[in-house]
Chains A and B, each alone.
Chain A
């Protein structure tokens, strides 16, 4: 077990052992689990269960909210329409626009609520882990959009898309050798990495901070030292503030991820105009 970039794991006389990244991985659920997963699915833990739970929650909510389809919506339908309309209009229509944005609304809508609900799991007691604090999930969803916007570009412009994407117009020829590699790196290599790591890192960091604060509070409270216990109260206040901040970031990152996905799709659609 290797600690993340937390204070080095020391064995001082205080005996405070900071939580490691391994502890961010929740305990196994099924009794016949191997140490970290079941025999047929190694690593099948709480995080995966939460991903599945999120699919059920989101699917059920929007299925029920959209099913009636009344002209004058009830409360549930109104909430569903507002949520759908937000992604459809504020992200899809405003960023992609044109007549073709509606084609990409399901992708954006699914991504937004998938990420949002999975992030918010981290702020709910007992569930208490944002699914995207695990890199696998973040890579997966970023890869989906990476493939999507490349496919959109190729479908729209053919193989010429790759040229359009890396050769900016209006640049003098002698700068091209400099610009083209930069464009290739920034568009096709860095972009998916930042797209996924932004989500993953913010979720993991927030999770770790809250976890660290929790373990520190526990250690300080049980230490028997009055001064440490007083400090523990301060840490508790700080932890609550960090929890609030993290809750904000959970919502924000879902929005940022979806917004960037929309911007990438728009860029692929209108590669010839950039």
Chain B
């Protein structure tokens, strides 16, 4: 029996030196395996899993944000399009009103121009008529006077007939003349 055995036999609390060493060595080897292989592998897996879950959430959030942005943009475009349409409509209305006003003005101007022209024409015709009439009246008066003188004024009846006939001629002539002017 060596000393270790005697010691072990003496007290149940006395350690066997070799058991002590084997335990420490075993613990050290196990510790090495754990630090070198087991723990990094597990921690890596945990981290990857966390990342996968959090990455998934982040991705979903990004997609959500993108969808929101697209919707906002669409809404904005819709609003823009409405504004644009309103603006165009307003413009068209304003333009239409302007065109209408212009046309009206033009029409009024044209009407004025036409009526002024007509008035001038009428005035000119009247002047011409007056001139022509004056000349004719002179001629007629002269003719009438010569006829009257030429007929020798035999009686009043004849002279009255002459005057009537003259006036009738005159009327006829004036009617013909006005018809010609109206032409």
Contacts and interface: CB of A to CB of B under 8 A. Distances in A.
B5 A42 contact: yes
Contact of A59 (B17, B24, B29, B44): B29
Given A42-B5, A51-B23, A54-B26, A69 B48 contact: yes
A21 B11 CA distance: 9
Given A43-B4, A136-B16, A140-B20, A69 B41 contact: yes
A81 B45 CA distance: 9
B19 A81 contact: no
A22 B9 contact: yes
Interface in A88-116: 88, 102, 105-107, 109-111, 113-114
Interface stretch (B32-40, B80-88, B125-133): B32-40
Given A81-B42, A110-B27, A37 B18 contact: yes
Q: What's the interface size class on B, roughly?
A: 35 or more
Contacts of A44: 18
A110 B32 CA distance: 9
Interface of A is mostly: helix
Contacts of A88: 42
Interface string B144-181: 00000000000000000000000000000000000000
A47 B26 CA distance: 12
B142 to A, nearest CB: 135
Interface residues of A, number: 56
Contacts of A137: 19-20, 22-23
B34 A110 contact: yes
A16 interface: no
Nearest to A62: B38
Contacts of A22: 8-9
B38 A48 contact: no
Contacts of B16: 43, 134-136
B2 A144 contact: no
Given A4-B12, A110-B31, A136 B17 contact: yes
Contacts of A106: 31, 34-35, 39
Contacts, number: 141
A36 B22 CA distance: 16
A52 interface: yes
A139 B76 CA distance: 77
A123 B22 CA distance: 21
Interface string A131-143: 1001111011100
B49 interface: yes
A66 interface: yes
B27 A111 contact: yes
B26 A25 contact: no
Contacts of B12: 4, 21, 135, 204
A52 B31 CA distance: 13
12 contacts: A44-B18, A62-B33, A62-B34, A62-B37, A67-B37, A109-B39, A113-B30, A134-B19, A137-B19, A140-B21, A141-B23, A144-B24
Interface of A: 1-2, 4, 21-22, 25, 34-37, 41-44, 47-48, 51-52, 54-55, 58-59, 62-63, 66-67, 69-71, 73, 77, 80-81, 84-85, 88, 102, 105-107, 109-111, 113-114, 131, 134-137, 139-141, 144, 197, 204
Given A84-B38, A197-B13, 18 more contacts: A2-B10, A36-B1, A36-B5, A37-B18, A42-B18, A43-B17, A52-B26, A54-B26, A55-B26, A63-B37, A73-B45, A81-B46, A135-B12, A135-B15, A136-B18, A139-B15, A140-B21, A140-B24
What 7 pairs across the A-B complex have the smallest Cβ distances? A136-B19, A136-B15, A66-B41, A140-B23, A136-B20, A137-B23, A59-B33
Interface of B: 1-2, 4-5, 8-10, 12-24, 26-27, 29-31, 33-35, 37-39, 41-46, 48-49, 52
